[in-house]
Amino acid sequence: MNRTLLALSAFAIVAAPLDAQQPGAPAFKSIVEKIDLQDGDTFVFLGDSITHQCLYTQYVEDYFYTRYPKLRLHFHNAGVGGDRAKEAIVRFDEDVAAFKPKYVTMLLGMNDGAYRDFDKTVFDTYQRGMTTLLDSIASLGATAIPMTPTMFDTRAKRLQNDNGEPRNTYYNGVLSLYGSWLREQAEVRGLGFVDMWSPLNNLTIKKRKTEPNFTMIGDGVHPGPIGQAVMAAAIINDMVSRSAVASIVIGEKAGKLAGNVQDLQQSETRLSFTHAAARLPWVLPPEAAVGMQLAQVGRKFSMDKVTVRGLKPGKYELKIDGQSVGTFSDGHFGAGVELSANEKAPEYQQALSVAMLNKKRNDEAYRPVRDLYGALKGQRNELAKAELQKDPALDAKKAAFEAWYGEMKTKVVALLAKAKGLEDEIYVANQPKPHQYEIAALQ
């Protein structure tokens, strides 16, 4: 056999397991590539204090509110500070199942690892808890989207003169291992999956090449708005289909300009038209703006481009509804003027108003709900301690707990009603509108 045939034979032997399933091999499920939300669906964010912050969850909501304005979607934050998987199980029925979700993201693990070097016993507890949660979500007919734990920023801890060891040396790596196990579970079960750990670490390393003290996680654990914007971008990037906000294209046809717009008017020095986009750009509150820039979400997630070909050489002013949004060259218009991050554009301002309404919804309704659930965990822990210690006042403490619990549920109902009212306002504010565009030559 010549060398070529020998090489081809060897390649066939090596490649065979990849080309066909071998007899007796397990049949693996397809991984969920993208989520598919329909009108009336509910999306639940399950997690610990990082979810309790109501930031990355809010920013993901903003994306859906502006990208799918014709769908009435519902979002429920189910984060509780300090939670581990086994504690999320305790509140699962009332805080997740009761909302009949179609999808449930899971952000747990930061507390489960116990802030120490890898410990097999601790990890086994985490595995059991997450397995129970995954099974519970499946029993609802919902799809779980496990997400890796976020970054533990050791440099941020050291900048605080916090020299906890071995935590500061190993814990970020421990969380990476927890995330790797979750990825495997998602593959085996055929679920969605989001990598939170890598974007936070990679962008931090990139920034530290020029800013050694840079951090998105001031206390080492809880990302601020910048980091939470990066987290939201990770969810959209990994699990959500992207589409352009608008792509206006005008060019010469049969000796005159034409395009996908209405009321197109042209003179020697001026071009005007009307256009209504089907959606709005993804805009977050100002405190998260740097995170949007770091994650480079503008054109990637919200392309809003005006392209005009065939303009005479020179500079042109673009106005929308009479408001100047910038001056651009004919070449720039030929390549496409991007408006998704242009703060003067009316679509941007409308999207920002939606984001600020949703910030109000989270600040005034949903975060207080999460605070009540955090208090509920504390009350249950105190009651469990009394039971364990055979407290002689146990019956009285049980009665007090039931009274408190009843009041807590009443408060939650009222806060969720407030959140629903603000959601109604959002679905009025997020409806796209037609706008009048004018492109005028500058002398």
Neighbours of 360 (CB within 10 A): 15
Q: pTM here?
A: 0.92
- Residue 19, pLDDT > 90, answer no
Q: Quickly list H helices, 20-71.
A: 49-52, 56-67
Contact (CB, 8 A) for 111 and 51: no
- The tokens of 433 are what? 């509108």
**pLDDT, tens digit (0-9, with 9 covering 90-100), for 417-433:** 999 999 999 999 999 99
Q: What is the mean predicted confidence (pLDDT) over 95-124?
A: 97
CA distance 54 to 45: 10
Tell me which of 32 and 362 has the higher pLDDT: 362
The pLDDT, as a whole number, for residue 166 is: 73
Contact (CB, 8 A) for 91 and 80: yes
CA distance 195 to 237: 10
**Burial category of 264 from C-beta neighbours within 10 Å (exposed 0-12, middle 13-18, buried 19 and up):** middle
- Cα–Cα nearest to 89, from 106, 113, 114: 106
- Residue 86, pLDDT > 90, answer yes
The pLDDT, as a whole number, for residue 299 is: 73
CA distance 134 to 128: 10
In this structure, of 117-121, 161-165, 272-276, 328-332, the range with the lowest mean pLDDT score is 161-165
Contact (CB, 8 A) for 266 and 256: yes
Share of the chain above pLDDT 70, in %: 95
The pLDDT, as a whole number, for residue 17 is: 52
- Residue 22, pLDDT > 80, answer no
> Exposed e or buried b for every residue in 387-416, given b needs 16+ CB within 10 A?
eeeeeeeeeebeeebeeeeeebeeebeebe
Share of the chain above pLDDT 90, in %: 84
Neighbours of 36 (CB within 10 A): 12
The pLDDT, as a whole number, for residue 168 is: 83
pLDDT bin (cut points 50, 70, 90) of residue 12 is very low
- Residue 404, pLDDT > 80, answer yes
- Residue 355, pLDDT > 50, answer yes
- Residue 241, pLDDT > 90, answer no
CB under 8 Å to 329, separation ≥6 — which residues?
314, 315, 316
CA distance 148 to 132: 17
Q: What is the mean predicted confidence (pLDDT) over 208-218?
A: 96
The pLDDT, as a whole number, for residue 24 is: 72
CB under 8 Å to 231, separation ≥6 — which residues?
56, 59, 150, 196, 199, 200, 223
The pLDDT, as a whole number, for residue 2 is: 53
The pLDDT, as a whole number, for residue 21 is: 63
CA distance 120 to 126: 10
- Residue 185, pLDDT > 80, answer yes
CA distance 242 to 199: 19
The pLDDT, as a whole number, for residue 252 is: 83
Contact (CB, 8 A) for 78 and 46: yes
pLDDT bin (cut points 50, 70, 90) of residue 13 is very low
The pLDDT, as a whole number, for residue 176 is: 97
For tokens 């199942």, what's the residue?
Answer: 97
**pLDDT, tens digit (0-9, with 9 covering 90-100), for 29-84:** 888 989 999 999 999 999 999 999 999 999 999 999 999 999 999 999 999 999 99
- On average, the pLDDT of the chain sits at 92
Q: What is the mean predicted confidence (pLDDT) over 243-272?
A: 88
Contact (CB, 8 A) for 47 and 106: yes
Contact (CB, 8 A) for 245 and 281: yes
The pLDDT, as a whole number, for residue 20 is: 54
Q: What is the CATH number of domain 42-239?
A: 3.40.50.1110
The pLDDT, as a whole number, for residue 382 is: 95
- The tokens of 397 are what? 């403490």
Q: What is the mean predicted confidence (pLDDT) over 321-340?
A: 95
Domain ranges of the chain: 42-239, 246-279+304-339+342-443
Indicate the SS3 state at residue 191: coil
The pLDDT, as a whole number, for residue 11 is: 43
> Exposed e or buried b for every residue in 179-198, given b needs 16+ CB within 10 A?
bebbbebbeebebbbbbbbe
- Residue 14, pLDDT > 80, answer no
**Burial category of 76 from C-beta neighbours within 10 Å (exposed 0-12, middle 13-18, buried 19 and up):** buried
In this structure, of 53-67, 251-265, 308-322, the range with the lowest mean pLDDT score is 251-265
Tell me which of 35 and 18 has the higher pLDDT: 35
Long-range contacts of 379-387 (CB under 8 A, 24+ apart): 379/404, 379/405, 380/90
CA dist 13 → 9, 10, 18 (Å): 6, 5, 10
For tokens 């500058």, what's the residue?
Answer: 442
